[in-house]
Chain A
């Protein structure tokens, strides 16, 4: 099956710093999404990005589907950005769809 790898596994930043999180996937996928898991466990959808670049405030994401990777950029990080960031690829077959998640990047932003 498809493998999804995220790097780095852990990241510690000072408030105000920028960071780049990477997601590699092993095969063609229908779509890719980035999520932020808050301290209460909820996964918040950040980007739905099969290809190209999207921006939302201090966050932006780029997916290069032909090279099977996606990047999540966080600029001017804040303590509220702390948590775990997951990328998930959307896989569809004749049975339906499902998300395959990477192992996540745990981000800690220090004041």
Chain B
């Protein structure tokens, strides 16, 4: 059974810092990996999706990397802002088909103070 672990569980940083969120998964036979953002009491917003054949994806100040063989992904946030405060969830999709289900980690709760 696939397990997804996110470290740290919570992180508090001052505005402007660069930071790294970590995600690890036990079964490396993934189809893709996705990073989401969840604001308190809200649904999920997809940030970045990395296919199993890719090493990284970038969107603005966000960069996600994937090391499939070691079962790890990192989400790098540059020049953090208070608006980045949210919970960041990592999810993996197993197998060779995009039709398999997503398995989520518990998330990293990020607080960026002004």
A and B from one complex: no
